[in-house]
């Protein structure tokens, strides 16, 4: 088993700071590190980058870690923090040192992140994303019911965004907004073959919560690894994971956040040991 995580809570631009994205990555690493021989894996390899370590250069460098994996291994990639759509219509993961006015030259575009899963030997790959899918949401968070009080939004609020052109004053692109449930275009030419589980629909925000000290999505994933084994086979399948996470996040957010699964390769079955 290979687990690679990135979590950014502290940014060079302090206006972007979050509280728990780094903790999301670290706690998931601890959970996956426990999946050693008695849980069916020969060994669990983990590597995590948090806060100032999350740079474009380190994301590129992390590919070496996953290239060590073999065909029969399982790879889990996780990112937590700000996700935003730039004016160029591309989706960006906001790294520690990113400048929201210069996204194309300072942040990690989705192609770069997805490339971590492209061209590596394993066939079973799971990509977990605890980031907003709603780059258009730059103002106040949507109205939330009583169940969702106390939640903090994981998006770039009230800041001028840029994309391919650093000059313009145009609003971010809406390309693809109404074409799919998720913002991120699914370009067949660069599909990674991974099962992708993202924390919210394309028209929604993602939240973190002080009580849980996690993103709602990550907290649900952690819970699922303990409690989502519905058929009692001592494993948590992708279907069980998705069902548990979707229900838990929707309930915790009062319906304001709904995780989405994107099965690039429906022929591949991924099951993780129940802890």
Encode pLDDT of 30-75 as tens digits.
Answer: 999 988 765 668 899 999 999 999 999 999 999 999 999 999 999 9
Checking if the pLDDT of 213 tops 60, the result is: yes
Strand order across the 195-198 sheet: 45-50, 2-7, 74-80, 124-130, 195-198, 260-263
Mean pLDDT of 238-259: 92
Checking if the pLDDT of 28 tops 70, the result is: yes
Measure CA 132 to chain center. 8
Checking if the pLDDT of 159 tops 70, the result is: no
pTM score of the predicted model: 0.86
pLDDT at position 191 = 66
Pairwise pLDDT comparison (7 vs 202), residue with the higher score: 7
Q: Looking at residue 191, what DSSP letter applies?
A: -
Whole-angstrom Cα distance, residue 184 to residue 77? 17
Whole-angstrom Cα distance, residue 43 to residue 7? 23
Whole-angstrom Cα distance, residue 59 to residue 46? 15
Closest CA to 259 of 243, 271, 275, 237: 243
Measure CA 18 to chain center. 15
**C-beta separation of 83 from 114 below 8 A:** no
Please write the tens of the pLDDT for every residue from 220-233. Answer: 999 999 999 999 88
Pairwise pLDDT comparison (161 vs 56), residue with the higher score: 56
- The mean predicted confidence, pLDDT, of the chain is 81
Whole-angstrom Cα distance, residue 67 to residue 118? 10
Whole-angstrom Cα distance, residue 82 to residue 196? 17
Task: Kindly tell me the burial class for residue 220, based on how many C-beta atoms sit within 10 Å of its own C-beta (0-12, 13-18, 19 or more).
Answer: buried
Contacts of 149 (CB under 8 A, 6+ apart): none
Number of Cβ within a 10 Å radius of residue 14: 7
Contacts of 231 (CB under 8 A, 6+ apart): 240
Please write the tens of the pLDDT for every residue from 97-140. Answer: 999 999 999 999 999 999 999 999 999 999 999 997 532 333 34
């Amino acid at each position: 088993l290979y687990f690679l995580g990135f979590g950014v809570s502290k940014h060079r631009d302090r206006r972007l700071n979050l509280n728990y994205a780094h903790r999301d990555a670290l706690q998931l690493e601890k959970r996956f590190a426990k999946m050693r021989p008695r849980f069916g894996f020969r060994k669990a390899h983990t590597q995590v980058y948090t806060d100032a370590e999350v740079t474009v250069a380190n994301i590129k460098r992390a590919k070496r870690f996953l290239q060590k994996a073999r065909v029969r291994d399982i790879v889990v990639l996780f990112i937590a923090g700000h996700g935003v759509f730039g004016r160029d219509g591309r989706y960006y993961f906001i790294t520690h040192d990113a400048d929201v006015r210069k996204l194309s030259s300072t942040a990690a575009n989705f192609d770069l992140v997805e490339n971590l899963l492209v061209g590596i030997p394993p066939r079973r790959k799971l990509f977990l994303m605890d980031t907003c899918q709603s780059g258009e949401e730059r103002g106040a968070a949507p109205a939330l019911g009583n169940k969702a009080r106390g939640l903090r939004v994981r998006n770039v609020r009230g800041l001028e965004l840029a994309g391919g052109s650093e000059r313009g004053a145009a609003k971010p692109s809406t390309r693809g907004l109404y074409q799919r449930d998720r913002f991120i275009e699914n370009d067949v030419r660069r599909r990674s073959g991974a099962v992708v589980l993202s924390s919210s629909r394309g028209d929604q925000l993602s939240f973190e919560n002080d009580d849980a000290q996690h993103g709602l999505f990550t907290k649900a994933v952690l819970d699922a690894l303990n409690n989502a084994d519905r058929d009692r086979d001592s494993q948590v399948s992708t279907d069980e994971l998705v069902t548990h996470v979707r229900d838990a996040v929707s309930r915790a957010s009062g319906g304001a956040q709904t995780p989405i699964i994107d099965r690039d390769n429906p022929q591949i079955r991924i099951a993780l040991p129940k802890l």
